[in-house]
Chains A and B, each alone.
Chain A
Amino acid sequence: MSKKEGQIRIPSGCAIAAVISREGRRMSGEKIVEAMKPMHARSNGLGGGFAAYGIYPQYRDFYAFHLFFDNRDARKDCERYLKENFEIVQAEVIPTRNLPQITNVPMIWRYFLSPFASVLVRENIREEDLVSRTVMTINEGMDGAYVFSSGKNMGAFKAVGYPEDVGAFYKLEEYQGYSWTAHGRYPTNTPGWWGGAHPFTLLDYSIVHNGEISSYDANRRFLEMFGYRCSLQTDTEVIAYMMDYLLRVQKLSLEDAAAVAAAPFWSTIENNPDPKERQRLTYLRTVFPSLLITGPFSIVLGFNGGLMALNDRLKLRSMVTGEKDDLVFIASEEAAIRVMEPEAENIHAPAGGQAVIVKVKEGAY
């Protein structure tokens, strides 16, 4: 029998894209699905996925869990576990379309959850930590159940297949979000499975990643000390947890988190003419040496109210940005941006390690 991911290691290539409205204007998933088409050759049909923000306004106060189940028993067990700590406000099958291109479909469910106040008090735990712990427990310990989305008013949608087919499968044209990210996967040596597709998420953080990081184990070992469990052995998973740790737990700014993940070379820091900047970069490299990501990557981090795009410091993967009115576009290739907006302006390739941060107007999401 072929092994699943987590039992073997899979390097990957990939394509990424994103679009966000700085005004918080919501748009259907059609545009982002279209954007993946000219980049078809960057994927090989073994994974595609999307993250969408602002899609569940009617449930905005509840954690939206998206889960894959192998069978009914796994679902029943998992629901029993969820009910220990959460009120299940709504439980439903995520609507999908039957497509010949998408096969071996697991059971795909969505739950809107509210943590019990009594549990939070009894265990003296913050609700985000309870959610994070719940995700880790299910993904590491419950066979046949996998949480692939757990944030508020956002959701990830992923599958084995080409991204444009995955978008059609999940009927993304029926969702309205102010921010969308997308991924097409090109793993090698893989039987592939649904949980291994991008985005990887925790709470409202989502990561789509093009590349192959060589610091995976160093990063993983560090994060395990803080309760994160990397159950898939795919490099991208560790980046999602790293961002949760740096941004939510350590409360770093996005700029500082970027300087940790894509820290400049020591020689580059030494040659920086600004003494304050030298001090900041030296401090971050010294405090978080185990969270430096080495090897090629271009990522888009999604979160409630914004996006951050980042390349590795050597820029071993491509990334282009563009703008039009309130929209900002990010993609592995300019062609993808031109599909979303033929008249896109300010086409720019950010330098390695230079974070591109886009935030939605306060109060508009």
Chain B
Amino acid sequence: MELNAKNLEFRELNRQLRQGGSVFHITGCCGQRFIAAGMDGKTITIEGIPGNALGAYLNGASIEVLANAQDAVGDTMNDGQILIHGNIGDAAGYAMRGGRIYVKGSAGYRAGIHMKQYRDKVPVMIIGGVAGSFLGEYQAGGLILVLGMNRGGAPLVGEFPCTGMHGGKMLLRGDVTGIRFPRGVCPRPAGEADLAEILPELERYCGLFGYDRNQVLDAPFTLITPDSGNPYRQMYAAN
């Protein structure tokens, strides 16, 4: 179903999405917030710039954005998929607890902040380019993967990655020698078993965005997990 969003207020846009139809093609999008919030069973393609909190609380719907997206993409999303062909703003996947966010380009600050997981609910965020500061801040679960493709001279991640990380895992592709990790996490070169585990996601990602799988894999990967003992011993009190 074609949906022209020009001059449509965000409530009205979401109302039309909720009413009938399961496949939508939105054109002329310009800053409408909360698109597809909480929705399931829909497939939505967006031309233009969706506003903040795209796919917040998403519950199974599939969203594809052909350009950049703004802040807080997939805030607290539970299930479904968000594909971004451009870059995303700050705080993508905030407290995400399931589903996938795939970004072809780069992410702003605080991507994957407080991602979490429970049993079979394991959220995945893959960023094709680079990520800003505070990547995976307070990460409690799920997988964050940053590929650093076509990054020129840009640093793979900004300052203070993994600050407060206490669960899940992060994989960074390429040289990480200049990156300062906090004391509470353990970075180590990813082994074959580690890569085999993420390979299905990575292949799917490469297929969707046209990245060459072999080229992506032809680089060292670093796996970061929290120090599993008691990573924040004595930070606030004797424990």
Asked whether B132 lies within 8 Å of A335 as measured between CB atoms, the reply is no
> Bound complex: CA of A347 vs CA of B108, how far in Å?
12
B10 CB contacts on chain A under 8 angstroms: 41
Q: Determine which of B51, B108, B159 lies in contact with A335 in the assembled complex, contact meaning CB atoms within 8 Å.
A: B51
Interface size on A, residues (CB 8 A): 19
Known contacts A318-B71, A335-B49; is-contact A351 B133 (Cβ 8 Å): yes
Measured between C-beta atoms, what is the minimum distance from A332 to chain B in Å?
9
Cβ-based interface call for A39 (8 A): yes
In whole angstroms, how far apart are the Cα atoms of A339 and B32 in the complex? 13
A315 engages B109 (CB within 8 Å): yes
Q: Is A352 a contact partner of B133 (Cβ separation < 8 A)?
A: yes
Contact B33 A41 (CB under 8 A): yes
Contact indicator A315/B159 (Cβ below 8 Å): no
The reply on A338 being an interface residue by CB < 8 A is yes
**How far is A283 from B13 in the complex, measured between Cα atoms in Å?**
52
Instruction: Judge if A356 is at the interface, Cβ distance under 8 Å.
Output: no
Select which of B52, B108, B133, B158 is within 8 A of A333 by beta carbon: B52
A38 to B50, CA, bound (A): 10
Chain B residues within an 8 Å CB radius of A336: 31
Asked if A271 lies at the interface with its beta carbon under 8 angstroms from chain B, I say yes
A354, chain B: closest CB distance, angstroms:
11
Question: Contact flags (1/0) for B38-61 with A, using CB distance below 8 Å?
Answer: 000000000011011000000000
Given contacts A39-B31, A318-B71, A351-B158, 17 further A-B contacts (CB under 8 A): A41-B51, A315-B90, A315-B132, A333-B31, A333-B49, A333-B51, A333-B52, A334-B89, A335-B31, A335-B70, A338-B31, A338-B48, A347-B68, A347-B87, A349-B108, A351-B132, A352-B109
8 CB-based A-B contacts, threshold 8 Å: A41-B33, A268-B159, A318-B71, A333-B70, A334-B49, A335-B31, A338-B30, A338-B48
The 8 A-B residue pairs with the shortest CB-CB distance in the complex, in nearest-first order: A335-B31, A38-B31, A315-B109, A335-B49, A335-B30, A38-B30, A349-B108, A334-B49
